[in-house]
Amino acid sequence: MKWSEIREELELNARATMARAYVRIAGSNRELSWVAFDIVLPLLGVCAYVYLYKTLKTPPEFLGYVILGGAMIGIWMGVLWGMASQLYFERERGQLEMILMSPASTMSLLLGMALGGIYNSGLRSAFTFAAGVWIFKVQIHVSSWLDLAVTFMLTLCALYGLGMVGSSVFLTFGRNAWHISSLLQEPVFLISGFYFPVRSLGAAVTTVASLIPVTIGLDAMRQILFSDPSWGFLSVKSEMLVLLGLSVFYFLCARKALRIMEEKGCREGRLTLRWQ
Amino acid sequence: MPRREAYSAVAVREHMRNFFWAFWLGWQVEANWAHPALFALYSVVKPLASCLIITVMYMVATGGRSSRELFASIYVGNAFFTLVTGSLLGLSMVLHAEREHYQTLKYIFLATSNLHIYLCGRAAARMITSVVSVIVMLVFGACVLHIPLTLAAIDYPLLLAALLLGLFCTVGFGLILAGISMKTAMHNFFFSESASALLFFLSGVIFPLSVLPQFLQKLSLCFPFCYWMEIIRRAVLPAYQSDAVMSAFSTSSLLCTFSVMSMLLLLISIFFFKALENEMRRDGTIDMTTAY
Amino acid sequence: MKTVYMDQAITAEQISRNFRTKGTGKSRDITAVDDISLEIGRGELFGLLGPNGAGKTTLIKIFCTLLLPSLGKATVAGYDVHHSAHAIRRRINLVAGGEYSGYGILSVRENLWMFSQFYNVDFKTSKKRIDELLAIVGLEDKASTRVNQLSTGMKQKMNFARGFINDPEILFLDEPTLGLDVTTSRQLRSHVRKWLEEDRRRTVLLTTHYMAEADELCDRVAIINQGKIIACDSPAGLKKSVPYSSDFEITIRSKGNDWHDLAGISQVASFAITAGDAGDDTMTFRLMLESDRPLEKIFATIIDRGASIISVKRTDPTLEDVFISLCGRGLDSEVE
């Protein structure tokens, strides 16, 4: 490919990403009920688990673990429902054929959805964390702000890669995939240790669960935020490397999977078939 | 037959028919997406994971050394709360799905004489799968986690009363959510889960209300579900000890308070929903699409 | 004389497309497109005419790279639909009728802008083009209105505008005037014509089951039925294939004459009395003629018998007549 073609391709995908992110952000700002339902109320769910730990008289750092886990739920739900299932819902709304027919790559559109979605899920996570820490007077001792920022970004990258892989599955398997996503909420909350240190599940389960980037990301962020590696699974540096590896792996998988699934959809005539 | 009685009989028959076909439709939507084995797995794995989260939290926090009765009350509360989340999801998401996904809402409005009945019918399928989930969780709890649950020790009349009144209460809350969903944009798919979080927190589902600050305890007592939780626990767990807040209520006073609050909530929800429905008709926004 | 570039915009070589459908009973195989071959040159406005379920949309989806053919090969703008979808997508756009085509919560302008970005149209060009297109479709005053507040016709107008947002080389119009009123349909058809004439390298493939639309717009029309192309020619050429050239309805004032012998005149394909009879003051009869030659003899016969002609109405064969003569049923009939 010539340099001018590469540049044009990059420009096209950058525009598509930006346009799709704009749709998310503008749409959110047109009607603000999500502030109550996506930001304020979910905090109460997290508070319930905090009070459970208070009832069980756990060490104080556990409250911080729950609050951080609760904050990351917003990110995970954003990936699951705001990205992975999005192409499926675009198809159900009759939009998918127009989108797929454009020369913009599906990955750039999904990235746009993710970046736009970060507006909602990022706000939710930030509010949950800040409010939780303030309400329950959780003590935070950040060992390294740089490590924290890098870990968070790597977790996001790996999660979005996983979300893109998920979107290709949704495209092909229709409503089965929708319910499988719904199925993956509580089990992922369990095995990824959203509400407790994942190490307590044992090495074998934690290793398998590490395929879900939020498991390792959450574990690393807990160690950094509370300067306490005692409940950590691996060291922070190792976990950052794992996240980097997962990011690359999932993006490559997503690229391949989206291509395969699109071709499969075209061959079977499912690409534009609504209500499968 | 006198005319008024004839009309009433016809109306009842029509409502029942509406309910039945709405239930049939809800079942088709909820249950025909997968092979039955996969559907069974889905019905079992989701609730079990929810139980295990609580169990692991308990084990991590206490090493299994804390009061088994406390764990039992938390576990049972969490299990039965599945009925609430499932029902709320069923009731509140129907309108969003009909409006945004299938784009049939205006036809439903025209076809049904009573939208409340339609919503309840549609949600009934999900309520039934929630009942299955609760049973799975209780069996798992009794057999694997050794929760002190025995069929002989359950106070069935009390449990039945609690479930029936709980159904009215949940339907009431669900209708309020459904009404709100009619007016709001579809931003995402966990609108009802967020609303459930409010009840999850204020109903003492996984912790006794006595650990909350005073003002939150008083606020909880304004929500009917905390009474429901307490009645369920008293009915199902023979050795259950109420916490400081709920021990002030006798079982009969709990039932009375819960009955009154449930009926009130149901009435308010019907009027609230009707008012919002009329507003939608006035604004012409019944079939607006908002997803992005 | 219209210029048509000889390099082909669209080619199809023996393409077929099968589907397996699943209902509440057994699944069955359906052949939606059956061994179709055609070539559409650049600069053409090519029509695909057929009843519901004939395979028009399936064919368009194949050309738009949304569906792969089960058999055969197709190219669009010289690129293979199977292997070069990306190259094709840069050069095409699709307007389909009867679909929802925007995010309800966003405005018309925002929706159009979003799609322009998917085609890498720069901001300045995008703004200018959106303004022009909104003026063409009559939505300038609705530019800032949310799509969920538009009527069905307005949504379709927006959809139509979206089809031109990237100034495609090849435009696919799949029943684009569905749901639009007569005036708007006419305006949009006129725009399509004008757009095509502005740049002779542009090509349009139009599918419709409104024969007047195909007749008015298309340089060539292929008639498709049950997945097969049964005829392909210019509208005039197709009409010539009908066994009669014109349909005359003649109303006369006469009494006591028998007119059935008019059917025996050479090149009269058929004769029928449609109103009145020999004892009435006025009669109307319908004649289908193979050419205009017998007209003189017919009028002479009427006058010779002392009758006076009240009215003469002429109807030329339509594409629907062409379809009926080829398939034995109307365009509005469903495929079984």
Chain B interface includes C291 (CB < 8 A) = no
Distance CA C206, CA C196 (A): 13
DSSP assignment letter at C249: E
Chain C interface includes A186 (CB < 8 A) = no
Distance CA C13, CA C34 (A): 11
Interface test with B, best of C99, C105, C152 (most B CBs within 10 A): C105
Contacts 24+ apart (CB under 8 A), B211-220: B211/A51, B211/A54, B211/A55, B212/A51, B217/B245, B220/B245
> Does any domain span residue C169?
yes
CATH of the domain at C253: 3.30.70.3100
Distance from CA of C67 to the nearest CA of A (A): 4
Q: How confident is the model at residue C329 (pLDDT cuts 50, 70, 90)?
A: low
Tokens of B122: 């549609």
Query: Of C206, C240, C274, which one is at a domain's C-terminal end?
Result: C240
Distance from CA of C38 to the nearest CA of A (A): 21
- Claim to verify: residue C229 and residue C202 sit in the same structural domain: yes
Q: Give yes or no for a contact between C193 and C216, defined as CB atoms under 8 angstroms apart.
A: no
Q: Do C105 and B103 touch (CB under 8 A)?
A: no
Q: How confident is the model at residue A275 (pLDDT cuts 50, 70, 90)?
A: low
Terminus-to-terminus CA distance in chain A, angstroms? 38
The per-residue pLDDT for C335 is 43
At A119, phi and psi to the nearest 5?
A: -60, -45
Q: Do C103 and B103 touch (CB under 8 A)?
A: no
Q: How confident is the model at residue C101 (pLDDT cuts 50, 70, 90)?
A: low
- Claim to verify: residue C150 and residue C257 sit in the same structural domain: no
Stretch C185-210: mean pLDDT, rounded? 91
Query: Cα dist. B91→A90, B96, B238, B259 in Å?
Result: 24, 10, 33, 21
Q: What is the dihedral of CA A47, A50, A51, A57, to 10 degrees?
A: -170
Distance CA A48, CA A87 (A): 34
> Does any domain span residue C331?
no
The per-residue pLDDT for C330 is 57
- Claim to verify: residue C255 and residue C137 sit in the same structural domain: no
Partners of residue C103 in chain B, C-beta under 8 Å: 291-292
Q: What single-letter amino acid sits at B46?
A: K
Chain C interface includes B292 (CB < 8 A) = yes
pLDDT above 60 for B259: yes
pLDDT above 50 for A107: yes
Chain C interface includes B106 (CB < 8 A) = no
> Does any domain span residue A274?
no
Counting as contact any 3 or more CB pairs under 8 A, the partners of B are A, C
CB within 8 Å of A147: residues ≥ 6 apart: A220, A224, A236, A240
Query: Of C208, C240, C272, which one is at a domain's C-terminal end?
Result: C240
At A149, phi and psi to the nearest 5?
A: -65, -45
Chain B interface includes C100 (CB < 8 A) = yes
Q: Which of C47-61, C163-177, C269-283 has the lowest mean pLDDT?
A: C269-283
C186 against B286, higher pLDDT = C186
pLDDT above 90 for B166: yes
Of C144, C162, C156, C161, the closest CA to residue C107 belongs to C144
- Claim to verify: residue C130 and residue C277 sit in the same structural domain: no
What are the pLDDT digits (tens) for A11-62?
999 999 999 999 989 988 887 888 888 888 999 999 999 999 999 999 889 9
Interface test with C, best of A6, A15, A96, A274 (most C CBs within 10 A): A15
CATH of the domain at C71: 3.40.50.300
B178 against C334, higher pLDDT = B178
Counting as contact any 3 or more CB pairs under 8 A, the partners of C are A, B
A115 against A273, higher pLDDT = A115
Q: Do A55 and B208 touch (CB under 8 A)?
A: yes
- Claim to verify: residue C140 and residue C259 sit in the same structural domain: no
Contacts 24+ apart (CB under 8 A), A93-97: A93/B100, A93/B101, A93/B289, A93/B291, A93/C100, A94/A274, A94/C99, A94/C100, A94/C101, A95/C100, A95/C101, A95/C103, A96/A271, A96/A272, A97/A271, A97/A272, A97/C61, A97/C64, A97/C66, A97/C94, A97/C96
The per-residue pLDDT for B63 is 82
The per-residue pLDDT for B191 is 78
> Does any domain span residue A143?
yes
What does the buried/exposed string (b/e) look like for A141-171 if buried means 16 or more CB atoms within 10 Å of the residue's CB?
A: eeeeeebbebbbebbbbbbbbbbbbbbbbbb
Partners of residue C149 in chain B, C-beta under 8 Å: 288
The per-residue pLDDT for C1 is 42
Q: What is the 3-state secondary structure (H, E, C) of chain B?
A: CCHHHHHHHHHHHHHHHHHHHHHHHHHHHHHCCCCHHHHHHHHHHHHHHHHHHHHHHHHHHHCCCCCHHHHHHHHHHHHHHHHHHHHHHHHHHHHHHHHHHCCCHHHHHHHCCCHHHHHHHHHHHHHHHHHHHHHHHHHHHHHCCCCCCCHHHCCHHHHHHHHHHHHHHHHHHHHHHHHHHHHCCCCCCCHHHHHHHHHHHHCCCCCCHHHCCHHHHHHHCCCCHHHHHHHHHHHHCCCCCCCCCHHHCCHHHHHHHHHHHHHHHHHHHHHHHHHHHHHHHHHCCCCCCCCC
The per-residue pLDDT for C320 is 80
C275 against B70, higher pLDDT = B70
The per-residue pLDDT for A175 is 65
DSSP bridge pairs for C172: C94, C205
pLDDT above 90 for B236: yes
β-strand C220-225 against C45-49: which pairing, if any? Answer: parallel
> Does any domain span residue C325?
no
Pick from C17, C99, C110: CB nearest A26: C110
Distance CA C228, CA C57 (A): 13
Q: Do A93 and B201 touch (CB under 8 A)?
A: no
Partners of residue C99 in chain A, C-beta under 8 Å: 94
The mean of the pLDDT values for chain A is 90
Tokens of B136: 């799975």
Stretch C119-138: mean pLDDT, rounded? 94
- Claim to verify: residue C252 and residue C229 sit in the same structural domain: no
Considering only alpha carbons, which residue of chain C is nearest residue A96?
C101
Considering only alpha carbons, which residue of chain A is nearest residue B49?
A187
Percent of chain C surpassing pLDDT 70: 93
Pick from A15, A97, A103: CB nearest C86: A103
- Claim to verify: residue C194 and residue C306 sit in the same structural domain: no
The per-residue pLDDT for A264 is 87
Q: Do A81 and B190 touch (CB under 8 A)?
A: yes
Query: Could you give the strand order of the β-sheet that contains C71-76, starting from the edge strand earlier in sequence?
Result: C27-42, C5-22, C71-76, C79-80
pLDDT above 60 for A101: yes
B105 against C188, higher pLDDT = C188
Element (H or E) spanning C42, and its range? strand C27-42
Q: Do C104 and B291 touch (CB under 8 A)?
A: yes
Distance from CA of B78 to the nearest CA of C (A): 38
Q: How confident is the model at residue C25 (pLDDT cuts 50, 70, 90)?
A: low
Q: Do C104 and B103 touch (CB under 8 A)?
A: no
Partners of residue B290 in chain C, C-beta under 8 Å: 104-105, 148
Q: Do A99 and C89 touch (CB under 8 A)?
A: no
What are the pLDDT digits (tens) for B211-230?
999 999 999 999 999 999 99
What is the crossing angle of helices B68-96 and A41-55, to 10°? Answer: 170
Distance CA C49, CA C41 (A): 18
Q: Do A269 and C115 touch (CB under 8 A)?
A: no
- CB-facing half-sphere around the CA of A67: CA atoms within 13 A: 24
> Does any domain span residue C329?
no
- Claim to verify: residue C201 and residue C260 sit in the same structural domain: no
The per-residue pLDDT for C28 is 78
The per-residue pLDDT for B263 is 94
Considering only alpha carbons, which residue of chain A is nearest residue C146?
A30
The per-residue pLDDT for C191 is 93
- CB-facing half-sphere around the CA of A244: CA atoms within 13 A: 7
> Does any domain span residue A273?
no
pLDDT above 70 for B247: yes
How much helix, strand and coil, in percent to the nearest 5, is found in chain A? 80, 0, 20
The per-residue pLDDT for C3 is 44
Interface test with B, best of C148, C152, C155 (most B CBs within 10 A): C148
Query: Cα dist. C56→A12, A35, B281, C80, C331 in Å?
Result: 31, 46, 39, 19, 13
Domain count of chain C? 2
Stretch B91-104: mean pLDDT, rounded? 81
Pick from B45, B52, B61: CB nearest A56: B61
pLDDT above 50 for C7: yes
What are the pLDDT digits (tens) for B116-139?
888 888 888 888 888 989 999 999
Chain C interface includes B198 (CB < 8 A) = no
pLDDT above 60 for C2: no
Distance CA C30, CA C336 (A): 11
> Does any domain span residue C44?
yes
CB within 8 Å of C180: residues ≥ 6 apart: C153, C156, C157, C188
Winning range, highest mean pLDDT, from A84-98, A111-125, B92-106: A111-125
The per-residue pLDDT for C179 is 79
What are the pLDDT digits (tens) for B34-60?
677 777 777 788 889 989 999 999 999
Q: Which of A158-162, A202-206, B127-131, C87-91 has the lowest mean pLDDT?
A: B127-131
Query: Of C222, C240, C258, which one is at a domain's C-terminal end?
Result: C240
- Claim to verify: residue C232 and residue C297 sit in the same structural domain: no
- Claim to verify: residue C297 and residue C219 sit in the same structural domain: no
Stretch B276-285: mean pLDDT, rounded? 83
Q: How confident is the model at residue A158 (pLDDT cuts 50, 70, 90)?
A: very high
Distance CA B127, CA C39 (A): 57
What are the pLDDT digits (tens) for C291-304?
888 889 999 999 99
Q: Which of residues 84-113 of A touch C (CB under 8 A)?
A: 93-95, 97-104, 109
Distance from CA of A60 to the nearest CA of B (A): 11
What are the pLDDT digits (tens) for B25-35?
888 877 766 67
Query: Cα dist. A5→A10, A11, A16 in Å?
Result: 9, 10, 16
Range of the domain at C254: 246-316
> Is the C-alpha dihedral spanning B101, B107, B112, B114 positive or negative?
positive
Pick from A15, A263, A271: CB nearest C117: A15
> Does any domain span residue C177?
yes
Interface test with C, best of A11, A95, A101 (most C CBs within 10 A): A101
> Does any domain span residue C236?
yes
Residues constituting chain A: 276
Q: How confident is the model at residue C254 (pLDDT cuts 50, 70, 90)?
A: confident
Distance CA A48, CA A195 (A): 11
- Claim to verify: residue C86 and residue C58 sit in the same structural domain: yes
What does the buried/exposed string (b/e) look like for C249-259 if buried means 16 or more CB atoms within 10 Å of the residue's CB?
A: bbbbebeeeeb
Range of the domain at A93: 3-268
Measured CB to CB, residues of chain C less than 8 Å from chain A are 17, 19, 61, 64-68, 86, 89-90, 92-94, 96, 99-101, 103, 105-106, 110, 113-115, 117-120, 146, 162
- Claim to verify: residue C151 and residue C276 sit in the same structural domain: no
Domain count of chain A? 1
Q: Do A27 and C105 touch (CB under 8 A)?
A: yes
Rg of the Cα atoms in chain C:
24
Pick from A23, A101, A269: CB nearest C106: A23
Partners of residue A58 in chain B, C-beta under 8 Å: 60-62
Considering only alpha carbons, which residue of chain B is nearest residue A199?
B60
pLDDT above 50 for C257: yes
Partners of residue B290 in chain A, C-beta under 8 Å: 27, 31
